[in-house]
Structure 1
Amino acid sequence: MIPNPSIEVQTSPVDHPSVPVWFAEVVILSQHLATKGLLETFAHQVRLVRGRFGSYEPLDFLALLIGYAASGERTLADFFDRLAPFGAAFMALFGRARLPHHSSLSRFLASVDHPCLEAFRTLFEQNSFAEGWTTETIGGIWDRQGRRFIVFDVDATRQAARQRALPCDPTLPPPRRRLDAVCAPGYTGRKRGEVVRTRTVILQMHTRQWVGTYAGRGNGDYQGELTSALRAITTYLKLFTLTPEAALVRLDGQYSDTVAITQLIEAGVHLVTRARGYRVLEHPQIQRVLAHPPTASMTRVNSEEVVEVFDGGWLPLDEGVPQTRIIVARHRTSTSGKRPSVGKCIGEWVYEVFITTLPADGFLVEDVLNLYHGRGAFEAVLANEDVEEDPDRWCSYTQCGQELWQIACQWVWNLRLSLGQATQQVELREIEWAPPKQAPPSLEAVEDAPREYGPWQWAKAFGAATGRFGADAFVLQEDGKLRCPAGSSLWLSEVRQENEFTQRATYLGFRRDCEPCALKEQCLGRGAKGNRARRVSAVRRLLPPPATMLRTPMMLGSIRWVDVAGRALRRTWTTHWRSQYVELIPLVEFPQRVFPPPRPPRAIRSHYRWSWPDRLARNAWWGPPQLRITVAGVPTTLAIN
């Protein structure tokens, strides 16, 4: 006893660890999974021909991963230290007997193969989305014509890893790094490291639900991951009886090549992305649009910079690719002369190109740009994920093991959203995302207009940077030849059609004129060989056909955005359970372990292989309850038996 004039303080030399603050949430999550039959499904569908991890099965380790994701502990070592005094109670929540050692968990994650991973991913896609949600409560965005879309974000996050610099010497064995199986050299972004792992995630923006995760070494396989992402999005829509046309997928410029865009269009979803190339700016239709006043003007909030936006209409990006809607945004170059990180500088303007398949009568050009730049909300969700769960922390140095852990993290995230919505009954938030507006004027091309090309544009001069004569030093003569600075002639070699709207002319000099020329080094460049002659090229582009401006006095409706407060749901749920009282009381003084029924003697004598039910029963809980867990603050609306 410690003397105190105000209160009575009792002390005890007997160790009695406090129950972890996250234990109450694990109790609720485990009982929810058991009530819905998911623990039984885990046990019979997620199987693995195991390595050396004793008598445990994947269900035992999935229970640990779910508990680790819900706990928020910094490392697995911290998680096992806090869990050790309550290991029997923790495993009993999942119907299991003994707590695996952390080395057994490491061996399990190292042994996870692709079929085991895909079985767990399939259960995640079938059971973690629809629970607690309906077609009406998952939100959406309604365009100016009243059509509903569900917005999905597909993007990649990168986890960089530092590696020591090791000497490379023939007398030394080659280095063996533990991250070689899960990482590879690649783009690290703003993160420091020598090797990187890429994780592509899909987020439903209205409920903040994770729809899938796909990881790979280095920069990953973005085309294969996009195929898997589209399959997960289609699965999500089927759970709510929605067609693929209701999906609106937002992507960054990595997915703007023709292969990825064709994948998206063939899947039947709508898309919004930034173009990776700028060759489409040379198309006559785009040139015609740029020659007229902009369709709309926008002012950036932070910099007060005015951006002019043009609706380029529908164009095929390449031969055999379906048509997409092209939107061009441009702003003036910076007065400081600093080159922009995004966009292409042409003269005094910086151009950006956006690609979409959204209908023009539902989303105006400014609506599409606002929708694309709204991906910043996706970055905010990723930041919240790093704070609440941090799935990119290393749990395994194998690809399948690390990805299994990340799927378990996303499952816990979705459970918090679903159960939080069921207990808090938060109403949907609805805002007017864009006010009603009159339809902008459109350009109508003159029919049967002749195809005409503009003047020849000569290749850029290298000038003083190299000391070499540029194309402007050559003079076009009346006979169609070029006269070089030394007075010799270059003849027209070819005029070829580079693409459907660009022609290139190539002029060649005579070798007999270039070999003895006194200006050879200045014309051909330093180190020029004697068997070369000067080449000069010029390009001319197809002129845009004439067009007339048509005004349509049509009033378009507003755009509505409906969603739920996902972060408030999760954090209110977590804060509630971490502040509730949890008590563990043994029901018997000396608990005796009850073993499973023994195997038949014939099976033992003949060394029969263990069947799946026999293997699962080795660590199953047998016998009557031996512990009572009391959790305070459980609302009556929570349907847990």
Structure 2
Amino acid sequence: MSEIMLNSTAAGIELTSHSDDNPVTPAWLAEVLLLGEYWRTTGLLERLQQQVKVSRGRMGQYEVCDFVLLLLAYAISGAETLKEFFVQLASVESVVLSVWQRQQCPVASTVSRFLSAIEGPSVEQLRTLFEADLLEHGFDCDHNGGLLDRTGERYWVFDVDGTHQVARQRSMTQQENYPALRRRSQAAVLPGYLGRKRGQGIRTRSAVSQAHTTEWLGIFGSAGNGTPGPDLDRACEVIQHYLQHYGLPGSKAIVRLDGFYGTPQFVNRMQHHQLGYLLRCRDYNLLKQPVIQARLAQLQAQAWFHPESHTVRDVFDLGFVQDALAGYTCPVRLLVVRTPYDPKRKPRVGKRVKEWVYELFLTGHSQVGLSGTDLLSLYYGRGGFEKVLGDEDHEQPCDRWCSWNGDGQEFWQILNQWVWNWRLWMGNAHDPQSARQTLWTEAIEATAAPDQTIAPPEPLALSEKTRVPHPPETDRDYAPMQVAPSWARSRGKFSGSDFTIVNERTLRCPAGHSMYRRELRQNRLGDLLILFGINPRTCAHCSLREQCLADGSKGTGGGALQSCATVY
């Protein structure tokens, strides 16, 4: 040990320093030890070993639970990188391993190799275990909160939204005599922006949250701009499973969605899952309908005051409308909100029509218990979800890059959400509090007798097109499906006999990729035509694309479905 003497005669201070290391104990140590004990005593570690299977690859002699415990500790630590986390862990490694009852600790490079070996089935196995623990140890029904409408009916509010992870990529010269460009991140990200952000690759994750308890219910990630349709279907399935656990039907849910989901295809998905919803609509062609314009001229606007921006909005509740021509398979309740146009301030959302800026909202709930202003207050309360995302970024950022393997990154993000939920449960166990209630407005008395029901009004028809119902799963009125045999044969492409029918919602193309139901039509003879489509990104790298796609098709276009087949 060496000793260095520093003297300062002017200040009369003498300092002595030693070269021995004396690291500071990390502030997160106690929480990490408590979390490890929770996993061990509740049997999660044992269930993890039995249910989550990962190809060993170059994992060495370690088990899956060794890596999972380290990733949980990494989520708690808040360190920006795994390298920084392992530097902090070095001083307390022996203490952590003894409490966790583990023999050896993997190094950072071994953790990276473990995440690179993660595959889709392993992610789904971990997701199943996550959902089971949520229902087993989460908040009970009395602490799950809820929204009571004007008639006393209780609803549970959920939020679904997507966020982006950005991976900055260097600009590299590409020439014919250069080798093909390969990036480490190409398996996890895809270009998602244009313009000034064209050098960035992004990864999208769709998160599902319970609005009252701020618990995470699930996360679904994919490269680029993501797959919003399938992700929304999976989010709805998670919410349905959550409600079934508490014995509630899907109609008691209010799923809040932003304007990205405000098109007929997403509304139809919500109605197919029989879940209540509230979303911002971006189908502003509805404002051009003469029936809508006439109804707006007749209705008296309700004033709604925004408590934060101090703006007053006019709310028109048009009730349920039906527009099969626009793609809505079932009636939807339409709210039209307008504010005066300010020439000094460009509106961020909405459609400007003369001196007004219009916003549209859709829901499936009736007007009996939730008025138009109630729904508007509930939607703008969606800012609470943005607050949850902000708190997550501050306390335990979920968008930290741990792996350039997409499945490995999603594996880590599920564990990160697990830590968030566990912190909520432990906080409530340490300081239990009764549920608080906020009164929006007084309840209304029922006007009908208990044995009477009020028939809902007929929806406002916006088009004369007959709605084509979804074919029932059983007792079908139609003959068995068959692919149109002459489809594309005249152009030298694949014919109908090259496609395989899996079920009423799935078709398999000649390359073995799954195609999903895109549209329902009815011809003049009464036959039901089902159009199936596939994501163009799947076709972009397919060796059979020239025999399948139409001539001149680029096979691109975001989430658009360009390659399709017809089934009778």
Q: TM-score range, shorter-chain basis?
A: 0.7 to 0.9
| CA–CA separation in structure 2 for the residues paired with 1:284 and 1:242 | 40
Residue 129 (structure 1) shift: 4.3
Structure 2 counterparts to residues 394-543 of structure 1, below 5 A: 394-436=401-443
| CA–CA separation in structure 1 for the residues paired with 2:18 and 2:124 | 51
Corresponding residue of 1:163? 169
| CA–CA separation in structure 1 for the residues paired with 2:365 and 2:196 | 32
Residue 257 (structure 1) shift: 1.9
Please say if residues 120 and 407 of structure 2, whose CA atoms lie closer than 8 Å, have aligned partners that are also in contact. Answer: yes
Pair 1:392-2:392 in alignment: no
Corresponding residue of 2:314? 308
Please say if residues 322 and 330 of structure 2, whose CA atoms lie closer than 8 Å, have aligned partners that are also in contact. Answer: yes
| CA–CA separation in structure 1 for the residues paired with 2:241 and 2:196 | 34
Residue 290 (structure 1) shift: 0.8
Residue 45 (structure 1) shift: 0.8
Specify whether residues 183 and 279 from structure 1 end up closer, same or farther in structure 2 by C-alpha distance, changes over 3 A only. Answer: same
Please say if residues 332 and 362 of structure 2, whose CA atoms lie closer than 8 Å, have aligned partners that are also in contact. Answer: yes
Match of 1:321 among 323, 329, 332: 329
Structure 2 counterparts to residues 135-284 of structure 1, below 5 A: 135-187=141-193, 194-284=200-290
Residue 90 (structure 1) shift: 2.0
Please say if residues 396 and 416 of structure 2, whose CA atoms lie closer than 8 Å, have aligned partners that are also in contact. Answer: yes
Corresponding residue of 1:297? 303
| CA–CA separation in structure 1 for the residues paired with 2:30 and 2:346 | 54
Residue 416 (structure 1) shift: 0.4
Structure 2 counterparts to residues 1-12 of structure 1, below 5 A: none
Specify whether residues 42 and 93 from structure 1 end up closer, same or farther in structure 2 by C-alpha distance, changes over 3 A only. Answer: farther
Specify whether residues 189 and 28 from structure 1 end up closer, same or farther in structure 2 by C-alpha distance, changes over 3 A only. Answer: farther
Pair 1:123-2:98 in alignment: no
Pair 1:134-2:140 in alignment: yes
Instruction: Give the letter for the 1:26 counterpart.
Output: V
| CA–CA separation in structure 1 for the residues paired with 2:67 and 2:302 | 56
Residue 436 (structure 1) shift: 5.0
Pair 1:23-2:34 in alignment: no
Residue 380 (structure 1) shift: 0.8
| CA–CA separation in structure 2 for the residues paired with 1:326 and 1:259 | 16
Instruction: Give the letter for the 1:289 counterpart.
Output: R
Match of 1:96 among 83, 98, 102: 102
| CA–CA separation in structure 1 for the residues paired with 2:239 and 2:88 | 38
Structure 1 unpaired stretches of 5+: 3-8, 452-641
Instruction: Give the letter for the 2:156 counterpart.
Output: I
The more displaced of 171-180 and 351-360 is 171-180
| CA–CA separation in structure 1 for the residues paired with 2:234 and 2:106 | 33
| CA–CA separation in structure 2 for the residues paired with 1:190 and 1:139 | 43
Instruction: Give the letter for the 1:233 counterpart.
Output: I
CA deviation map 1:402-459 (0-9, x unaligned)? 01111111000000001110111122121113345799xxx999x9xxx9xxxxxxxx
| CA–CA separation in structure 1 for the residues paired with 2:457 and 2:400 | 55
Residue 243 (structure 1) shift: 2.2
- Name segments (4+ residues, structure 1) moved above 6 Å: 9-13, 188-192
Identity percentage over the alignment? 39
Specify whether residues 37 and 349 from structure 1 end up closer, same or farther in structure 2 by C-alpha distance, changes over 3 A only. Answer: same
| CA–CA separation in structure 2 for the residues paired with 1:169 and 1:379 | 44
Residue 215 (structure 1) shift: 0.7
| CA–CA separation in structure 1 for the residues paired with 2:400 and 2:267 | 32
Residue 189 (structure 1) shift: 11
Please say if residues 149 and 443 of structure 2, whose CA atoms lie closer than 8 Å, have aligned partners that are also in contact. Answer: no
State the TM-score, normalized to the length of structure 2.
0.72
Pair 1:345-2:352 in alignment: yes
Instruction: Give the letter for the 2:29 counterpart.
Output: F
Residue 195 (structure 1) shift: 1.6
Corresponding residue of 1:47? 53
Pair 1:330-2:338 in alignment: yes
Residue 18 (structure 1) shift: 3.9
Instruction: Give the letter for the 1:155 counterpart.
Output: D
Corresponding residue of 1:108? 114
Corresponding residue of 1:33? 39
Instruction: Give the letter for the 1:333 counterpart.
Output: Y
Corresponding residue of 2:383? 376
Please say if residues 198 and 215 of structure 1, whose CA atoms lie closer than 8 Å, have aligned partners that are also in contact. Answer: yes
Residue 32 (structure 1) shift: 1.3
SS in structure 2 opposite 1:168?
coil
| CA–CA separation in structure 2 for the residues paired with 1:170 and 1:261 | 47
Corresponding residue of 1:87? 93
State which structure, 1 or 2, has the greater radius of gyration over its C-alpha atoms. 1
| CA–CA separation in structure 2 for the residues paired with 1:340 and 1:348 | 12
CA deviation map 1:607-641 (0-9, x unaligned)? xxxxxxxxxxxxxxxxxxxxxxxxxxxxxxxxxxx
Residue 83 (structure 1) shift: 1.1
Q: State the superposition RMSD in angstroms.
A: 2.8
Specify whether residues 261 and 283 from structure 1 end up closer, same or farther in structure 2 by C-alpha distance, changes over 3 A only. Answer: same
| CA–CA separation in structure 2 for the residues paired with 1:284 and 1:333 | 23
Instruction: Give the letter for the 1:275 counterpart.
Output: C
| CA–CA separation in structure 2 for the residues paired with 1:393 and 1:176 | 22
SS in structure 1 opposite 2:298?
coil
Please say if residues 262 and 321 of structure 1, whose CA atoms lie closer than 8 Å, have aligned partners that are also in contact. Answer: yes
Specify whether residues 323 and 18 from structure 1 end up closer, same or farther in structure 2 by C-alpha distance, changes over 3 A only. Answer: same
CA deviation map 1:119-167 (0-9, x unaligned)? 0011111103441521111101110011111100000111222211111
Corresponding residue of 2:474? none
Specify whether residues 81 and 254 from structure 1 end up closer, same or farther in structure 2 by C-alpha distance, changes over 3 A only. Answer: same
| CA–CA separation in structure 1 for the residues paired with 2:195 and 2:79 | 27
CA deviation map 1:540-580 (0-9, x unaligned)? xxxxxxxxxxxxxxxxxxxxxxxxxxxxxxxxxxxxxxxxx
Residue 313 (structure 1) shift: 1.3
Structure 2 unpaired stretches of 5+: 6-14, 447-455, 465-568
Residue 277 (structure 1) shift: 1.1
Please say if residues 135 and 242 of structure 2, whose CA atoms lie closer than 8 Å, have aligned partners that are also in contact. Answer: yes
Instruction: Give the letter for the 1:415 counterpart.
Output: W
Instruction: Give the letter for the 1:329 counterpart.
Output: V
Corresponding residue of 1:554? none
State the TM-score, normalized to the length of structure 1.
0.64
CA deviation map 1:375-418 (0-9, x unaligned)? 11111111100000001010000110001111111000000001
Corresponding residue of 1:501? none
Please say if residues 250 and 271 of structure 1, whose CA atoms lie closer than 8 Å, have aligned partners that are also in contact. Answer: yes
Corresponding residue of 1:628? none
Residue 91 (structure 1) shift: 2.9
Specify whether residues 117 and 315 from structure 1 end up closer, same or farther in structure 2 by C-alpha distance, changes over 3 A only. Answer: same
Instruction: Give the letter for the 1:326 counterpart.
Output: L
Match of 1:360 among 354, 367, 371: 367
Instruction: Give the letter for the 1:160 counterpart.
Output: V
Instruction: Give the letter for the 2:43 counterpart.
Output: G
Please say if residues 191 and 198 of structure 2, whose CA atoms lie closer than 8 Å, have aligned partners that are also in contact. Answer: no
Specify whether residues 188 and 72 from structure 1 end up closer, same or farther in structure 2 by C-alpha distance, changes over 3 A only. Answer: farther
Structure 2 counterparts to residues 520-599 of structure 1, below 5 A: none
Corresponding residue of 1:580? none
| CA–CA separation in structure 1 for the residues paired with 2:457 and 2:250 | 32
